């Protein structure tokens, strides 16, 4: 089995509100050296929010880096001192206006492990109870309710292009 890489040194290039950028010097398994650019990102959650009839709730919002509106599952960064399940419940209430009666962790995955350590913790929420939405001040989004067939069609047609949402949809459809 191949060995991993060993960090020799690191240099923090940028510290931001939601990410940091560093450049590391690493020792390769064959003894050579290389530079690695690393985007540090706190863990985040994504939530498959299922209505009683099996529909899912997504949000449509403009994503500046992508330059377009995207359909996404409710999601957000795990704040310091917060448990991932607490983040999932908070994001559901803020983004789609529901509180989950049942919330279960489904899986964990890296979004882009070639350059980032961002880990998404995917949850499945059921038994949803209405609650007033409280979006963050810089978030503008619409709630969209979609059936299994609509989700499948949107995912297969390429209209849904967010990786965490595609992962969530294919997990949901495989059940």
Give per-residue pLDDT as tens, 149-166: 999 999 999 999 999 999
Which pLDDT belongs to residue 133? 80
| pLDDT of 2 above 80 | no
Q: Where are the domains of the chain?
A: 6-41, 44-174
Which pLDDT belongs to residue 24? 98
What does the pLDDT look like over 86-95, one tens digit per residue?
A: 999 999 999 9
Q: Which CATH class is domain 44-174?
A: alpha beta
Closest CA to 47 of 89, 109, 83, 80: 89
Which pLDDT belongs to residue 138? 73
DSSP for residue 134: -
Q: If you average pLDDT over every residue of the chain, what do you get?
A: 96
Let me know: does 79 contact 94? Beta carbons within 8 Å: no
Rg of the chain on CA atoms, in Å:
18
What does the pLDDT look like over 108-139, one tens digit per residue?
A: 999 999 999 999 999 999 999 999 887 667 77
Q: What value, to the nearest 5°, has the Cα angle with vertex 155 and ends 149 and 160?
A: 125
What does the pLDDT look like over 13-35, one tens digit per residue?
A: 999 999 999 999 999 999 999 99
């Amino acid at each position: 089995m191949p060995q991993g890489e060993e960090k020799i040194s690191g240099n923090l290039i940028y510290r931001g509100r939601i990410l940091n950028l560093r450049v590391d010097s690493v020792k390769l398994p064959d003894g050579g050296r290389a530079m690695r650019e690393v985007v540090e990102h706190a863990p985040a959650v994504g939530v498959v929010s299922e209505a009683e009839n099996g529909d899912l709730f997504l949000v449509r919002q403009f994503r500046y880096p992508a330059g377009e509106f995207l359909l996404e599952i409710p999601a957000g960064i795990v704040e310091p001192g917060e448990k991932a399940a607490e983040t999932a419940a908070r994001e559901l209430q803020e983004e789609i206006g529901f509180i989950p009666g049942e919330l279960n962790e489904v899986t964990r995955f890296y979004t882009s492990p070639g350059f980032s350590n961002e880990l998404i913790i995917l949850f499945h929420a059921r038994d949803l109870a209405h609650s007033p939405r409280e979006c963050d001040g810089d978030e503008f989004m619409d709630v969209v309710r979609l059936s299994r067939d609509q989700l499948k069609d949107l995912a297969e047609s390429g209209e849904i292009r967010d990786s965490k949402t595609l992962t969530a949809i294919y997990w949901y459809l495989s059940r």
